[in-house]
A and B are shown apart, each in its own frame.
Chain A
Amino acid sequence: MSTTTTPPTAAEPTTVIGKSADYLDQRTKVGVLAKQLVRKVFPDHWSFMLGEIALFSFVVLLISGVFLAMFFDPSMALVTHHGAPATMDGQLMSTAFSSTLNMSFEVRGGLLMRQIHHWSALIFVAGIVVHMMRVFFTGAFRKPRELNWLVGTLLLICSLLAGFSGYSLPDDVLSGNGLRITDGVIKSIPIIGSYLSWFVFGGEFPGEHIIPRLFTVHILLVPALILALIGVHLFLMVLNKHTQYPGGGRTDQNVVGYPAVPAFATKMGGNFFIIFGVLALMGGTMAINNVWNYGPYDPSPVSAGAQPDWYMLFLEGSLRLMPGQAEIVTWGDFTLSLNILVPAVIIPGLLFTFLFVYPFLEAKVTGDHREHHVLDRPRNVPTRTGLGVAFLTAFVILALAGSNDLIATHFALSINTITWVFRVLFFVGPVFAFWVTKRICLGLQRKDRELVLHGHETGRIVRFANGEYIEVHRPLDEQERWLRVNYEARRPLEIEPATDARGVKRKGYKKDKRWQKLSQFFYEDRVEPVTPAELAAAHAHGEHDELEPAHDTPELVSGSGNVEREH
């Protein structure tokens, strides 16, 4: 029998860490994994940190959530509350609400943890949204990362579920009314609506089951799903290696950046503490959801100016905008509540469908099967950038419409007028935003061409011996130029003709034609990058610009500060 399994080549470990690593590796072959990860290269850019904000907020949610779960009692049993705050003493309320009050007033640090938890939830969803914006506008969702985009979109949906289920737990007046609105939306679903309402509430609204059920959803189902999806998300990120911004030496075949250990890991760890710190500071100094001011749930009262958490505002706004006339009675006296279905089910459905299908749609109209690891500059894909901004505009208009009562009271405006303005804006705003954004992108691309062809304006006016004045332009250095010429101006799809060589109609031509139409929408307007030949031609025309550098012709410099440029 052999007494050792240590490979003879490895030096005998002497330190504690070395010995533990050896122990672990002898049993798990973890060295193979570590070899892949320890010096793995990660590109560096501030916008790659946005996903970390979401990730680390989630960690803070887990930490503060465990604390809260120790003191929260998710029961709807009615009790008479005894103790702080004085306004609630002796009132009849659910155990859930009473335990929320106790954890805020009796448990030291409890209110802090509640506030940290609530702020973290808001920042968590915000982090996901901003991260998705980065991914969308830079085209990081393209092959091979379409799957990870889907995982991310699922994470967004899970985060909304987590937020909503958590918000409803304290069983206060506001969250109770939120649940009531949810019940109304569920009931509007054709055919199965009333049964679905009983399924969710275990009886009629509110019943006595909804808080314990939401609690299970909130602390078990959704977090488990989120954790699993985060695992997949990060695994795929490591597997595909991170994307990188365009620049010198960055190609689809390499990754340029810093090794995980030490600099990248240290920055990431530091970032966790900074984000946690910001959330602790927010939780400590910014009051949020003071449920004792609202009181326990009672089906009768409701307060004006009550807004849901920000990520639900778009749904609330969409409900507010839809005119009631849309509710119709169909054949057979069935009620079809389109005034609820359209804003609360169909519009969010469309928004999420857009997110789910966009990567595949774009790949199809681009006719693109390659892997992409170098990101796009948003200006270089004007239609995508325009669509993204249009999407965000629709989202923001709906969110603002969800605050129309606050806008009305703060600016002393008629709420009916505001609502009508938003109804129109919801249709006009995204189209206008698309058009403006696309124009700006094309303009920026032309500016890039201009810069590459003619260089930077220097403000240096030179007079020639024949009396001619020119402004000297400084050519771009090769890194600056590379950034502006290294992209592909994609073109609309080219399709096979309608008939083949023998004049027989080709099957599938109409379908191809439709895709080509869409492709033209995407890529008809485009600005091509400058080619070396164009640059050479530009230099040939404007040979004056070649009078470089300044010290070659010092006697001709007539001033660099206040001289007006001539054109």
Chain B
Amino acid sequence: MSENQNPQGPSRDVARHDGDGTVARTDRFADPGVPAHHPRLADTDPKAAKRNERIIAILFAISCLGTIASIVAYFAVRPDGTTPGVRLSTVLLGVAIAISLFGIGFAAVHWAKTLMSGKEYVEERHSSSSSEDVREVVQQQFKDGLEDSGIARRPVLKGAVVSALALFPLTIAVPLVSSVGGTWNVNSFRHTIWKKGTRLAYDPSGRPIKASDLTVGSVAHVIPDVPAEERESHEWITEKSKAVVLLVRMDPRDHKRDHREGASYDGIVAYSKICTHVGCPVALYEQQTHHLLCPCHQSTFDISDGSKVVFGPAKRPLPQLPITVDDEGYLVAEDDFNEPVGPSYWERLK
């Protein structure tokens, strides 16, 4: 299927390699050389040159005005803390700075293109490599240097210096790597702060949820019920990152099956909100289909079917939080999740 459609078959070109590696060809057109230089209007017409000079001067003057305008804008327009106030200041400053910069930029380019010499020059290139002579000298220098060091005659030193140099980075790397990982307690992925009896509370208010609060079809974003002051710490944000739950009350008849036997209460199911793909909060619930969609990568889970994946890049169902009600009618966890929440990792099933 050769595409060689030359009317005369294979070209009769003859490649001849010169000593310096360049290829000379016969039966080729001759290089016509650099095109003739055409003078520009300003090169021949003093009036045009004068006009361009004026334009350039005006552009520089506009730049000066832009600079002044930007300083005026800075001092005169004080943002008042509202979004429109900040926007006004930003627009005025930005436009003034742009004028100042454009003035210089366009003036310089116009100057170069109209008044500075437009004559092309030809410069020779030289080979990118150094000459044979230089190479020989350098090789000899390295040989001499090696000879001086005596390393060839002292193989013990060779091994010693390589070992020492290879090992010494560990003095920095070990403490650095070790400290950077903190406690390295990777087992903490397996647990959340949910435990038997923890009440389910609304996110972000922290108000505990009664089973009777929820009508069929309603959805609640849930956090574990912990004292308000505990919720103002990093530990809380880290725990919340694993513990957030989505609570849905469905008509019990809509449940195709329960992911965990006896884990729901009267049609109310609680699933981890952390996507089993890469950990985005799964937040979009579609009431009619009972589908739960992750807005990051569109993994879709079917809440009525044990939150199994019906579309997208996630593989596993969302872990279910087993729930029941306590004596006062509040929803409580029966236990922690029975598997790690969030994205998969190598030793997840260990």
Contact = CB atoms under 8 A, between A and B. Distances in A.
B35 A333 contact: no
Interface string A71-92: 0000010100001111000001
Contacts of A339: 277, 313-315
A534 interface: yes
A322 interface: yes
B278 A185 contact: yes
Contacts of B314: 324, 339
Which of B7, B106, B312, B343 gathers the greatest number of chain A CB atoms within 10 Å?
B343
A189 B82 CA distance: 46
B328 interface: no
A369 B348 CA distance: 52
Interface stretch (B138-146, B147-155, B163-171, B183-191): B183-191
A318 B288 CA distance: 30
B315 A92 contact: no
B134 interface: no
A298 B121 contact: no
A322 B313 contact: yes
Interface in B301-342: 309, 311-316, 342
Contact of B108 (A109, A207, A266, A525): A266
A340 B277 contact: yes
Which of A192, A264, A277, A283 gathers the greatest number of chain B CB atoms within 10 Å?
A277
Contacts of A209: 182
A241 B125 contact: yes
Interface residues of A, number: 143
A209 B350 CA distance: 28
Interface in A289-306: 292, 297-306
A267 B117 CA distance: 12
Interface string A518-543: 00000011111011111001000000
B6 interface: yes
Interface stretch (A133-141, A159-167, A248-256, A385-393): A248-256
B278 A191 contact: no
Given A404-B298, A486-B31, A198 B343 contact: no
Interface in B76-119: 78-79, 81-83, 86-87, 89-95, 97-102, 104-109, 111-113, 116-119
A219 B111 CA distance: 37
B279 interface: yes
A271 B285 CA distance: 51
A336 B316 CA distance: 13
A379 interface: no
Interface stretch (A9-17, A123-131, A175-183): A175-183
Nearest to A191: B346
Given A187-B344, A320-B297, A526 B313 contact: no
A335 B348 contact: yes
Q: How large is the interface on B (under 10, 10 to 19, 20 to 34, 35 or more residues)?
A: 35 or more
Interface stretch (B44-52, B209-217, B236-244, B260-268): B236-244
B5 A252 contact: no
Interface stretch (B19-27, B193-201, B249-257): B19-27
B280 A41 contact: no
Interface string B16-43: 0000011100011101111100000000
B94 A194 contact: no
Contacts of A271: 105, 109
Interface in B57-91: 74, 78-79, 81-83, 86-87, 89-91
B278 A371 contact: no
A502 interface: no
A92 B98 CA distance: 37
Nearest to A104: B86
A205 interface: yes
Contact of B90 (A262, A284, A333): A284
3 nearest A-B residue pairs (beta carbon): A284-B94, A184-B278, A270-B108
Interface of B: 1-8, 11-13, 21-23, 27-29, 31-35, 74, 78-79, 81-83, 86-87, 89-95, 97-102, 104-109, 111-113, 116-125, 127-128, 177, 180-186, 188-189, 203-204, 221, 223, 232-234, 237-238, 240-242, 244, 273, 277-281, 283-284, 295-299, 309, 311-316, 342-350
24 contacts: A84-B86, A109-B90, A143-B128, A188-B278, A193-B345, A195-B186, A204-B188, A205-B238, A207-B182, A207-B234, A257-B121, A270-B104, A274-B106, A280-B98, A285-B91, A298-B204, A327-B344, A335-B344, A336-B346, A337-B344, A343-B313, A369-B21, A442-B3, A482-B32
